[in-house]
Amino acid sequence: MRRLILLPIAVATATLAAQAPQPDWSAIEAETLTHFQALVKINTTDPPGGERPAVEYLKQVLEREGIPTQAFALEDHRPNLVARLKGNGRKRPVLIMGHTDTVNVDEKKWTFPPFSAARDSGYIYGRGTIDDKDNVTGALMTLLTLKRLKVPLDRDVIFLAEAGEEGASRLGVQFMAEQHFADIDAEYCFAEGGKRHARERRAEVRRDSDAREDSRDPSSSSRTDPRATPRSRSRATPWPISPPPSGRRRRGSRPSG
Ligand SMILES: [Zn+2]
């Protein structure tokens, strides 16, 4: 599970002052797994689309920690959620995105029920485990960890839990870019497709969504073995915090069909 959270935390901490306290990685791993399974258990398939329960979950977790959130919805049952950790303003914000919707599913093809988040032999089974509730969980844990450790930030860290990525971006990232851009405006954006340097404001934000590495084929997000899916952003990101000793054990999340 640690891989799910290392990348966004690395992203966020790459711009920090150096003396951040060390995270308790075993506690973070356990909590990450809890949030990850909770999110996978929430059926947010599109069609029909219904991200609100996932947004409510994220909202209560973040606000319980004193991190304010705002929901933005073009359609009431399909909100986007934005949370922001304030930096000192020396640099422009970094935006971490993950989408809460998933493609739909044919339950008959699954070894474990697709919303069970069943854990078996080192894997979590479920729709959305690698597209994109892994990144949503990573972003969530990034904000929680930075906040708890009181890490000094020289830029705001914004988390956008995006609705409608799997075919309804008009109420997700497009809606946010067109109507609430100030709430997600950032110098850099990290999303499932990689990263973008926001030189051209809206155009760059949209391109991030367009550049995702998965397809809309419902079967595509069920076939990928995460052990064989290196994320390009990890290679480019300095990692200032030592990984835990348990970091080498096998982990991942593999849906089954
Ligand atoms: Zn995706």
Centroid of ligand 1 to alpha carbon of 120 (angstroms)? 24
Centroid of ligand 1 to alpha carbon of 206 (angstroms)? 14
Do the domain assignments include residue 91? Answer: yes
Give the pLDDT mean for 156-174. Answer: 96
Give the pLDDT mean for 134-144. Answer: 97
The total domain count for the chain is: 1
Q: What confidence tens digit (pLDDT) does each residue in 172-231 have?
A: 999 999 999 999 999 999 998 755 555 544 433 433 333 333 333 333 343 333 333 333
Centroid of ligand 1 to alpha carbon of 188 (angstroms)? 19
Centroid of ligand 1 to alpha carbon of 22 (angstroms)? 31
Centroid of ligand 1 to alpha carbon of 99 (angstroms)? 7
Model confidence at 7: pLDDT above 70 = no
Centroid of ligand 1 to alpha carbon of 143 (angstroms)? 20
Give the pLDDT mean for 8-33. Answer: 73
Phi/psi at 93 (5° precision):
-65, 165
User: Given this model, what pLDDT does residue 172 score?
Assistant: 97
Q: What confidence tens digit (pLDDT) does each residue in 78-119 have?
A: 999 999 999 999 999 999 999 999 999 999 999 999 999 999
Do the domain assignments include residue 257? Answer: no
Q: What confidence tens digit (pLDDT) does each residue in 47-71 have?
A: 999 999 999 999 999 999 999 999 9
Centroid of ligand 1 to alpha carbon of 103 (angstroms)? 9
Contacts of 172 by beta carbon, 8 Å cutoff, 6+ apart: 78, 80, 99, 101, 162, 163, 164, 165, 209
Q: What is the CB neighbour count within 10 angstroms for residue 214? A: 16
Centroid of ligand 1 to alpha carbon of 60 (angstroms)? 23
Contacts of 168 by beta carbon, 8 Å cutoff, 6+ apart: 46, 49, 78, 101
Centroid of ligand 1 to alpha carbon of 119 (angstroms)? 22
User: Given this model, what pLDDT does residue 129 score?
Assistant: 97
User: Given this model, what pLDDT does residue 40 score?
Assistant: 98
Do the domain assignments include residue 22? Answer: yes
Centroid of ligand 1 to alpha carbon of 39 (angstroms)? 15
Q: What is the pTM of this model?
A: 0.73
Owning domain of residue 10: 2-248
User: Given this model, what pLDDT does residue 28 score?
Assistant: 97
Higher per-residue pLDDT: 10 or 161: 161
What amino acid occupies position 69? Answer: T
152-179 residues labelled b (16+ CB within 10 A) or e (exposed): ebebbbbbbbbbbbbebbebbbbbbbee
Using N-to-C axis directions, what is the helix angle for 52-64 and 133-148, rounded to 10°?
10
Centroid of ligand 1 to alpha carbon of 144 (angstroms)? 23
Least confident segment among 3-7, 108-112, 152-156: 3-7
Q: Is 136 exposed, middle or buried (0-12, 13-18, 19+ CB in 10 A)?
A: buried
Centroid of ligand 1 to alpha carbon of 128 (angstroms)? 8
Centroid of ligand 1 to alpha carbon of 169 (angstroms)? 11
Do the domain assignments include residue 118? Answer: yes
Q: How far apart are CA 25 and CA 3, in angstroms?
A: 11
Higher per-residue pLDDT: 140 or 240: 140
Do the domain assignments include residue 113? Answer: yes
Centroid of ligand 1 to alpha carbon of 17 (angstroms)? 32
User: Given this model, what pLDDT does residue 22 score?
Assistant: 85
CATH number of the domain enclosing 26: 3.40.630.10
Centroid of ligand 1 to alpha carbon of 145 (angstroms)? 24
Do the domain assignments include residue 255? Answer: no
Supply the mean pLDDT for the chain: 78
Centroid of ligand 1 to alpha carbon of 90 (angstroms)? 32
Centroid of ligand 1 to alpha carbon of 192 (angstroms)? 6
